[in-house]
Amino acid sequence: GNSVTQMEGPVTLSEEAFLTINCTYTATGYPSLFWYVQYPGEGLQLLLKATKADDKGSNKGFEATYRKETTSFHLEKGSVQVSDSAVYFCALSLQYGNKLVFGAGTILRVKS
């Protein structure tokens, strides 16, 4: 079946540290890949996406590259801020815009 595996959290970093949140997937076809972010008390927001192999999604200093050979879509940011503290979800969709399969979510805590 289709599934997404994320690294377990919480991840605790100091401000300006480098961030990596690992995400790997299993899919029967060629999925589109997404990172969503959920800030405290808010709904999920699309952070970035990639629809085919080797695509790089980027937004707000975050980026992730669709790696077909390793079935991965790791999220990275060079310098995190306290305001980046949130829950990050990796997700896939086998048909762009269609139903999403989510990973378990990774809590990120950034300390000043």
Partner 1 sequence: GAVVSQHPSWVICKSGTSVKIECRSLDFQATTMFWYRQFPKQSLMLMATSNEGSKATYEQGVEKDKFLINHASLTLSTLTVTSAHPEDSSFYICSARDSRGGTDTQYFGPGTRLTVL
**Which 31-90 positions form the footprint of partner 1 (CB under 8 A)?**
36, 41-46, 49, 89
Minimum gap (Å) between residue 69 Cβ and partner 1: 25
Residue type at 7?
Answer: M
Interaction of residue 18 with partner 1, rule CB under 8 A? no
Cβ at position 15, least distance to partner 1 in Å? 25
d(CA 106, CA 112): 19
Detail the DSSP E strand segments found in 61-105.
62-65, 75-77, 86-93, 101-102
Tokens of 49: 């996406």
Judged by CB under 8 A, which of 7, 11, 72, 102 binds partner 1?
A: 102
Select from 80, 103, 108, 110 the one that contacts partner 1 (CB under 8 A).
Answer: 103
Show Cβ contacts of residue 42 under 8 Å, excluding neighbours closer than 6 positions: none
Smallest distance, partner 1 to C-beta of residue 104, A: 5
CB 80 within 8 A of CB 69: no
Report if residue 12 touches partner 1, rule: CB under 8 A. no
Interface with partner 1 (CB under 8 A): 36, 41-46, 49, 89, 96-97, 99-105
